[in-house]
Structure 1
Amino acid sequence: MDVVVADVSPAIDNCDEKMLPKVDMLFDGENEAYEFYNVYAEMVGFFVRRSTLWTTSKNIITRRTFVCSREGFREKKRGTKEAKCPRPETRIGCPASMTIRLNANGKYRLTEFVPNHNHQLATASTMHMLKAKKIRLKARAVRENLVDDTVRTPEFESEDEAYEFYSMYAGKIGFNVRRASMTMNAENIITRRMFVCSKEGFREKKRGAKGVKKPRPETRTGCPACMVIRLASNGKYHVTEFVTFHNHPLGAAVPCDLVATSQSTETGQDDGMDVVDGSADANIHKQNLISDNTMAASLESRINKRFKCTKVPHNGDIGATLEYLQKMQHDKPSFFFAVKSDDDGNLTNFLWADSKSIMDFVHFGDVVCLDSAYALQGYGRPLALFTGLNHHKQTIIFAAALLYDESAEAFRWLFDAFKMAMNGTQPKTLLTDRSAAISEGAAASWPATAHRYCVWQIYQNALQQLSQAFHGSRTLEYSFKKCLFDCEDEPEFLTAWREMLEKYDLEDNKWLADLFSLKEKWALPYGRDAFCADMKSVQQKESLGIELKKHLSLEFGLLSFFQQFERVLCDRRSAELQADVEASQSTKKPPPMRVLRQACNVYTPSAFKMFEREFELYMDCMLYNCGEMGTVSEYKVTIEDNQMDHFVKFDSLNSRLSCSCKGFEFIGIPCRHMLKVLDTRNIKDLPPQYILRRWRKDAKSGSSNGSYSFPFDSDPQLAQTKRYNLLCRIFSIAAARAATSVDTSAYMENQSSILMDQVEQALETRPPDMAAIIGAHSNQTQNPIDNIITGLHNHTNFINGSADGSLTFPFTLGAGALDYH
């Protein structure tokens, strides 16, 4: 067919200059470009249709073409007979189009624009008629022009809560609600949902409908009233469109107390409410009641109460959780759990930890990561995990929690409960997701703990927030990861960040700007003094969330999740036990160099790999003497391929070193610069203070009673309870080690009887003041528990830890409930 070019110049001349498509125009999203082309098309005189697109494996649109509705030709289907009254041909191969492509900064650039049409364009009068016809077929096409921005709406934790809110509003105004279209992501999570008036749209005409003698009356009128919600980055649903206009008379208002049960919402059929006759102005006035004081009196009190607990437990979840926790404490008296309730007495949050997890915290609780991704992003049940790293660089779980309340007060309760479970101790460093509520709770409960935002969790959030930008450029992700993980000092970080923003045109990206404003909480150059045990590198390789994610879904019962959680604990503890065996029975040939032999003998294989890497890199270092002051010498250490200089101070009096890179303070392994200075000073053995116990093979051996410290309260009963818990924790460590073999178990039984005799003798000869007794015996050269553990250590060789992590120790970690308001 020959293309006849229509004259669009007069129409374009009448267009606003800002409404004309131009090559290199930028749009924030594909929908924004589509709406822009729609406005232009309406002024010119045609309709728009989405055409070809290109997407990535994650359904990110990288290229899209919008065309005139008369583009292409109608497809002729095979086997179709020639119709007696064929539909008129509407597609005639119109070439008009607009193409956009995804840029590196996450925006879409207009790359091609064809203004010419091969058909007559509509005039202002004919366009109005065509638009009215289109609106009748799909009334929602005009809802954006009717959005009421004055309506105040809350944010919702789930799609059901938004539906309940809109139903309450509909009952007050006088119409019924129906769930309409929705959008879901690859994980079957609703990201967009539309609620409409029951009279939205038009009844579909079915074949044979003309033969019905008594057809049902038409109830749908194409009403545009609706509420649209979208899932935001904080895991909550926000109202993006709220249309209050109805094109039909409204019904009588339903009392608020009956709203929840009076709506025939799912079927969309009328429920026989009395129709109020009145003018359109009267209807509009009635709808405006939602922004008046009437709404505040009738709805806000119920809504505020409804949304005070930020997540609504699924049916049966509270009962299943209590059943599990009570059963665990019955089976294992050392099991700890705590429960939080709100002002109305509803149970909202739960935390639990078994004895093996508590013992793990004694040895490896210097760094704790609170993984609250599921709690904050709203995926399934709101699980939060307190995790850490053992001496084999394996992820271990210290405690788990279900958080249906995510306020700052709730997180303060969470940290207080965790501290109680861990015998009053808290970590040196806390790594969490970026959250104001978490930050406030941590500052109130753990003021002495260094609180940092976990860079790995920030990277995971960036994959969502910057997904379009990452798919628009192959190198942006690399530059962003460099800013997160590879910068050592502040100038290097600031330069890398500025270059990233300029190169990829991200200066106006709000998420990155907010992230940068908090750089002191997450950027590595600002937190080198906070010990992290190389947590970020381990998180890059494994994720507990992947293993538990499926069973957190609401499709499964909560007891199924608890079973999977126990499996994960068991598997990880078995892996730790296997690593202990392999570390103690290694048959590898000893390294030839003395310092390497020492490191190989004391470090676990995983820790030795970190040390070995630093040792290999120290060989490339060059050292320059910068002067001496008394016993302290200062050196400058450089590497040929690295322009950054590092400075090391060495005190010959006590062999203490400090390096400007803060590598030892950050990870716990001597850095290459320190090793270079030691070698220059002819020190062939690592000083003991630079071999952290947490990385040693024997990290879990020996006495740990020095780790506990209780202030004895003036209340005698409370003080006795705390001393009892203290002694239970101490003896549980000895019991766990003794249970690994028959010989050590028998030895423990024998020594326990001797210890009991000593306790009884002390009680008979002294007043029953437990604090005085403990104080007196602590002054002895070696107390009985040290005798037991030392005796165990000398009695036989055994494997660290318990075999299955399920030993039951003869003590109870509390009453099982911690209620905090």
Structure 2
Amino acid sequence: MSSINQVDSCDPIVVDNVRMRKTLGIVRVTEDGKKFYKPDVLDDVKPLKGRLFNTLEDGIQFYKTYAKLSGFEVRKSTQYKSKDGKLRQKYIVCSREGFKPIAPMDTLVDKMDKQEIEKPKEKRKRPSCRCGCLAKCIFESTNENKYVVYEFEEEHNHPFVDEDDIPLLKSSRKLTFSKKQLLFRVSNNNIGPMKAFKMMKELFGGFDEIGATSVDCKNFKRGINLFIGEFDAEMVVELLMNKQEYIPGFSCDYFTDEDGALEGLFWADEVAKNNYLCFGDVISFDATFRSNKYKMVFVPFTGIDNHHRSVTFAAALLSKETWESYAWLLRAFKKAFGSEPKVVVTDQDPAMKIAIEKEFSNSRHRLCMWHIMEKLSTKVGPELCKDETFKRRICNIVWTDTIEPSEFEREWDSIITDFELQSNNWLTDMFALRFNWIPAYYRDEPLSGLMRTTSWSESENHFFGQLTSTTLTLVEFVSHFETAMDVQRYTHRTNQHKTRYTTPDLLTDYVLEKQAREIYTRAIFYDIQDEICASITECMSMSVMAIDGTHKFFIKEIGPVVSFKGLFEVLFTPSDATLSCSCKRFKRYGLMCRHSFYVLRICGVNEFPKKYVLKRWTRDAVTPVKRVVFDARKKLSDGSVRDELVKEIIGSVEYCVDKLASSIKELSIFRDRLQDLKSKIDAELPNQRPMTDHEVISSALGVSKPKTKVRVRNPLQCRRKGDRTNSRIIPPKERAMTDGAKKPRQCKKCGEQDADHDSRNCTKFQLKKRNMPDA
């Protein structure tokens, strides 16, 4: 006799004084004690024998819904076809059908010998859920091209999941379009799937409200890499070339090797070009590593804006750091911007030097002080770098532009002698290059003071480093770069807003200070304000001479800290308000000095001299660029149109929620209206197909997967300067970063390092397997 017991899915049961939770369903116990479980659901949701469906997918979806309500999962299994290839029967079985396959063994191979021959492989622990369940649903085709339930086995040999755990079933887990978009967008800010999953928990009110697990989030990120795959270079080139075609002012150039592999990629938009016209007098470009999976070097072109913040003019990716690659890059820059910069600041890369001499022949090339001084500790030793006297003396002659070349050379020789550094070859080489990096030697050059702001290039690299990683594909990298540009330009916009609509306090009653407040941006005004205050409290006239209508003032600085103990000569011609100071601050920075303000004040000048106002530092330095976003992007892909519509819909809902949040009653009414709208949509569009992962990814990336033969192949793993050679001594900082880096993933099938796949989904192995002749 077997017994059938109705199980109450709400109340707990007690077994041997242990409180247990009940599972859904009806339990049947056989005479030998075996238990079988039948879902306790209405017949209307059961795929009973004889039930007819218009399509096979409708039938499968019906069975999946039944399984979800019952507390188990299903999977597709065997199928049979007729002689003409038409599907005749399709088996859908419980996911716990069958048993876990037994691992192969060979007793002829001794265990110890096997370990010597073959390194033991670490295997992932994968518990099995298979238990030989026989529950299934068989669909059979009819003569009318419909499908009928041919057989339905309802009983299972295992309990169903707890009612509270149904959201964890695979059939219950689904990343919606909005959540996939969220995962992609936060990834542009280097937020991985795990952190994004935790963010969504807070946004949606709990893990169960997400509708997916952290593994689903990681799988979606993996799906992006698989979608891009071997088409990475082709897709990024198509993306940027489409922008060049449809977006006004956008420029893009690329070149490949003889095999079609991407070698170089350059791009710049209209906003960047406009910024170059305003702030392109001094630019810096520096090769940055660790920005993408191919080890292509990232080369941003940067400058200083009117708020004394970094501004990016263009960007490039290069697979080789040869002078030919850099020469191509500079030609692409000239083609896009139409002119050479006045000054170019780089590191000591000899390839850059050759390329600049060939392509930027009218530009002055200077070396980045920050890069050189950063090497000081490794070149002179840690002990000497701990010596405060040495550091103070060397910095006093390097990080200043107020001394003359003769003073620099005299103090340099003194330092070398005092600390016995005559045999240090690196210091000898740096002294030989002093004309290219020591400010004392180019203090007469216009805006040479911007080159003293040497850390801005490195600051820019750090800024981009926060939004890039060594695992990024090229398409993802461009998306991350655009996010970085949005951040940078939004910062400039907020700085402009603060300048226009806030008023800094005046510290003196001098009329020129008030006028300067209306001329310059807030950051630059504070610099001018400091100089005006210093002209009152820290400057003193020692003597005055008059020569042919020109007054010569000899100014001495006073105060607790005086960098220069000599006299500054200021020439002032009242007839045309011409000024010239021996400190040369205006020539070096484009900003007036305290000595000039001192002379203007004591001469009674009450009008800020316009000839000494450089437009690049003013409030209106940047001419606004008409933003062409929606109409231009609409031509690129339907995804852009969809994004705009979704943004408008979410904005409308957010507006309503914000409007009604103070009233529970009104909020409930709004909720009910949305529920009615959902029901109406389900009724009008019962079979509306959701977007596939590929469609969502294509929409997010802004480019489709190529359907034709690949024209631009992915770059090979690039060899950076110093890689796999013994010629370069690796600095401690770089060694620590390398040692602490996560071990790259390797596919066990194809052996690819730093792969975006594993042995389970290796496309190379699957292709090889398909091409193998049958035994």
Aligning the two structures, in what range does the TM-score lie when normalised by the shorter sequence? 0.3 to 0.5
User: TM (normalized to structure 2)?
Assistant: 0.47
TM-score by length of 1: 0.45
Task: Flag the structure with more relative contact order, 1 or 2, with Cα contacts below 8 A and sequence separation at least 6.
Answer: 2
